[in-house]
Chains A and B, each alone.
Chain A
């Protein structure tokens, strides 16, 4: 854990500008076992200090790969000089945003450093279980990935604090072949916030889900291509979370709104069925911690929930301090940087479509001819809200019952059109947090969604 050796340097913050000083360490652990072979065995520690100075809307940022009081002095000076230099070339002259409060937040958690030996042994145990139980697989991969952010933030006119975000995951990939000899694959991520001990103290707790993964792979071996076209589907919770993040979330990031996203002219308008509500949660959902809780952002804003869609109406954006002022909204703690060398930019935290009242069973039973789409490999969207998700696990629905498995396919649509077709929402949310969001820098984010019945374009063959 970082020791606070930078707090005394607040005295160097200049008058008439807004300054944030941040010390940060990111740790990464990665072990990859491919078909029994340890192909990667890696540990990494990256730390340093940065400062950002806002001079009337022109920003200077500087960072050094050194965690010391002297480095803090250097970055404050260099960031100030950068702001002054750039102001000569920039036409920006914006009033500094008003303070939304000051104070100091307490440390939220601890980072436990697990020995590499323990990580490797855990992966070997799981790999051996899979090898012995499912000898017919053509390949298997077990990956352990852990990263943690440890940040100390001091701001000139906002909150300060020492916050940590440890997370770790085990990814399991299984490969088999269809009857025609074509490779088919299935993948699942386990884990979340916390250390190895928090998430994987009993590997056998994962075995039931590994069984399900294997069964789905066997179903997929006999799978069929989805029939291309505009179909009624039940979108699983993981897919709902992907939709919340990719197709809606990015368009309501205020910097992208400023860049011309579809959310600009859609504010206070109906963008979804009245059943749809969506929130970017800061740290708590339904009385429990979110997958990746955020208490303080890297501008010193104390994190709060950001409501985005209420009863189908777009009600707000995710902001940093500058865009909140511009759009007349409240900054809720979305300005985040990934590494010590990254400036804060507007990022999601735990973006979620809220649950409804239906059960998944009744939703499936209500579909005569459609698909149940359970999991996605990846997703992308653009400023118009046109999105695409790869579907790696899904089934036909025929006369209200699940049918054959699907081979990999893709769904696509335009978010604010597709969300208007949502007519049933399940009563439970599924969360995922194992990946990275990419937007200049990577960022760890949580995504949550319920099952939703809707109409969507599905690719076929």
Chain B
């Protein structure tokens, strides 16, 4: 029996000895080996050993949640007392609940043993490639990390999920410099379970490095126009995440402010758009295996060919509103590809913008967005031309997904999402 199982048995005993009949908890241990580089040099090696224990306790229909990182026997007993106090303070609310018994299972994902020397070699190789292929790019910081987590989830309904997993990641922060000219910063990230391929070939590292080098000659857009805007995969992900939060999540459905409140089963987007959360997709490195309310995770398609299938509600949101509960928390975003090659998407645009980043106010529930286009390029007469600076974009998130011109065949997978380029109309681009 593993140490975590023994801890869980002990924890069950403490909870039962204190008369707690309904509870759910997870206990995790984690280890991080992190390499930090500054301006191309290894500067810091960081090792983190951490634990997490999260416990929710019910007293009748009162619920409280407590969290700590001390998992000694005494600390677990104290955590139960703290959970009881939190629950006693709460008003009755039958909507707080956990899933019925989901059985027992072991989920192993990723890689279990770190190969630190090979990882260091891959990082060095990435820097050599950047130096050769992108001489004007300077990588300000790079963080390579190996993270391993073991966990156990149990609840009073009988569910027991054991998870084991490990993963490599690399994040780069970079800009370009040529004499006195410098660009703004861009970031790229990838999560992988294998060191078989050079890290630089994963995700969209090369696309972003190439673009930042071109951004040295950035100019403001002259005047104002409404044209076709091509969202890069990372922008597609960023905008869709806000749309899910502002139109289809617990908060906006429970309080009734969602503009999609009565749209389940109806068309809310172009029929070209299919948006799903797929924890079991092979391209997702560490997919969700159980939800925050203890269901086994299932794949969930939120928008199917433009139609909102259901709101993405937790068990709490479901019980509050009488709508279906979704057994998926909403990580692992996968957007189905279209039939257009990226190159052809650009060819079909007379005047538009390739939007590589957005620095803007957090859009509210009305979906209005307004901000600065970052790492972005003008598209003119079917070609990507100059990089832009001091250029604003604004529009409405709910509207632009109705106005999708095409979606790329190409998909970018960074280990956490699978996303295409999406060309939309209805965004206003304005310069100084």
Contacts and interface: CB of A to CB of B under 8 A. Distances in A.
B89 A115 contact: yes
A61 B38 contact: no
B392 A48 contact: no
A38 interface: yes
B120 A42 contact: no
A256 interface: yes
B389 interface: yes
A94 to B, nearest CB: 10
**Chain B CB within 10 Å — which of A38, A59, A67, A115 has the most?**
A38
Given A43-B82, A65-B49, A228-B430, A378 B361 contact: yes
Contacts of A38: 90-91, 93
B138 interface: yes
Contacts of B362: 377-378, 390
Contacts of A117: 85, 88-89
A461 B394 CA distance: 6
A41 B371 CA distance: 34
B45 A43 contact: no
A60 B184 contact: no
Interface stretch (B150-158, B254-262, B325-333): B254-262
Given A260-B138, A408-B364, A43 B67 contact: yes
A37 B70 contact: no
B185 interface: yes
A392 B82 CA distance: 38
A16 interface: no
B368 A407 contact: yes
Contact of A384 (B44, B47, B69, B184): B184
B14 interface: no
B366 interface: yes
Contacts of B270: none
A34 B67 CA distance: 22
B50 A59 contact: no
B180 interface: yes
B45 A408 contact: no
Contact of B361 (A85, A228, A262, A377): A377
Interface residues of B, number: 77
Contacts of A424: none
A405 interface: no
A410 B47 contact: no
Interface stretch (A178-186, A279-287, A444-452): A178-186
B42 to A, nearest CB: 4
Contacts of A45: 67-70
A269 interface: no
B389 A386 contact: yes
Nearest to B71: A65
Interface residues of A, number: 87
Interface string B266-286: 000000000000000000000
B35 to A, nearest CB: 7
B69 A48 contact: yes
A389 interface: yes
B390 A413 contact: yes
A332 interface: no
Contact of A260 (B67, B88, B175): B175
Interface in A38-90: 38-48, 57-67, 78-79, 82-83, 85-86, 89-90
B185 A383 contact: yes
B70 to A, nearest CB: 7
Contact of A46 (B43, B68, B93): B68
A92 interface: yes
A460 B392 CA distance: 9
A331 B424 CA distance: 49
Interface stretch (B58-66, B202-210, B237-245, B334-342): B58-66
B175 A259 contact: yes
A228 to B, nearest CB: 5
A343 interface: yes
A319 to B, nearest CB: 14
Interface in A355-387: 376-378, 380-384, 386
A139 B85 contact: no
A265 interface: yes
Contacts of A383: 140, 175, 182, 184-185
Contact of B224 (A89, A228, A256, A384): A228
A360 B259 CA distance: 38
Contacts of B255: 34-35, 138-139, 141, 175
Interface in A279-330: none
Interface in B281-314: none
Given A63-B49, A343-B44, A457-B432, A86 B370 contact: no
Most chain A Cβ neighbours within 10 Å, of B48, B67, B143, B259: B48
A232 interface: no
B66 A390 contact: no
B239 to A, nearest CB: 15
Contacts of A268: none
B90 A61 contact: no
A116 interface: yes
Contacts of A62: 46-48
B213 interface: no
Interface string B22-54: 000000000010010011011111111111000
Residue among A40, A47, A83, A408 facing the most chain B CB atoms (10 A cut-off): A408
B177 interface: yes
Contacts of B143: 440
B51 A65 contact: yes
Contacts of A64: 49
A336 to B, nearest CB: 15
A39 B255 CA distance: 11
Contacts of B250: 39
B45 A60 contact: yes
A408 B67 contact: no
B381 to A, nearest CB: 26
B365 interface: yes
B128 to A, nearest CB: 14
B41 A382 contact: no
Contacts of B351: none
B361 A382 contact: no
B70 A59 contact: no
28 contacts: A37-B95, A41-B65, A41-B87, A42-B86, A45-B67, A46-B67, A48-B69, A58-B44, A62-B46, A63-B49, A65-B69, A82-B46, A139-B255, A175-B365, A183-B257, A255-B38, A259-B38, A259-B138, A265-B180, A376-B361, A378-B361, A378-B362, A386-B184, A386-B390, A390-B361, A412-B390, A457-B432, A460-B430
4 closest A-B pairs by CB: A390-B361, A259-B140, A117-B89, A382-B184
Given A89-B120, A175-B257, A260-B138, 10 more contacts: A41-B89, A42-B66, A60-B44, A90-B43, A92-B43, A382-B359, A390-B370, A409-B370, A410-B361, A457-B390
